[in-house]
Amino acid sequence: RKEVEQDPGPFNVPEGATVAFNCTYSNSASQSFFWYRQDCRKEPKLLMSVYSSGNEDGRFTAQLNRASQYISLLIRDSKLSDSATYLCVVNPRASGGSYIPTFGRGTSLIVHP
Amino acid sequence: DAGVTQSPTHLIKTRGQQVTLRCSPKSGHDTVSWYQQALGQGPQFIFQYYEEEERQRGNFPDRFSGHQFPNYSSELNVNALLLGDSALYLCASRAGTGWAEQYFGPGTRLTVT
Task: Note the pLDDT tens digit of each residue in B1-37.
Answer: 679 999 999 999 999 999 999 999 999 999 999 999 9
pLDDT at A8: 73
- The more confidently predicted of residues B1 and A41 is A41
pLDDT category at A30 given cuts 50, 70, 90 is: confident
Determine the pLDDT at residue A53: 84
Phi, psi of A16 (to 5 degrees): 90, -10
Of B40, B99, B107, the CB nearest to A91: B99
A25 touches chain B (CB under 8 A): no
Confidence bin at A41 (pLDDT 50/70/90):
confident
Distance CA B10, CA B113 (A): 14
Alpha-carbon distance of B5 to B105, in angstroms, equals: 5
Cα B48 to chain centroid distance, Å, stands at 9
Per-residue pLDDT at A94 exceeds 70: no
Mean pLDDT of B89-107: 86
Pairing relationship of beta strands A70-75 and B64-68 according to DSSP bridges: unpaired
Q: Give A47-85 pLDDT, tens digit per residue.
A: 998 988 889 999 999 999 999 999 999 999 999 999 999
pLDDT tens-digit map of B30-61: 999 999 999 989 999 999 999 999 988 999 99
Per-residue pLDDT, A31: 78
CA–CA distance from B58 to each of B18, B44, B71, B84 (Å)?
A: 20, 8, 24, 17
Cross-chain residue pair B42–A94, CB shorter than 8 Å = no
User: B42-65 b/e with 16+ CB inside 10 Å = b?
Assistant: bbbbbbbbbeeeeebbbeeeeebb
- Residue A97: predicted pLDDT: 59
Which residues of chain A does B9 touch, with a Cβ-Cβ cutoff of 8 Å? none
Are the beta carbons of A100 and B45 separated by less than 8 Å? Answer: yes
The least confident of A13-27, A81-95, B18-32 is: A81-95
Q: Letter for the amino acid at A44? A: P
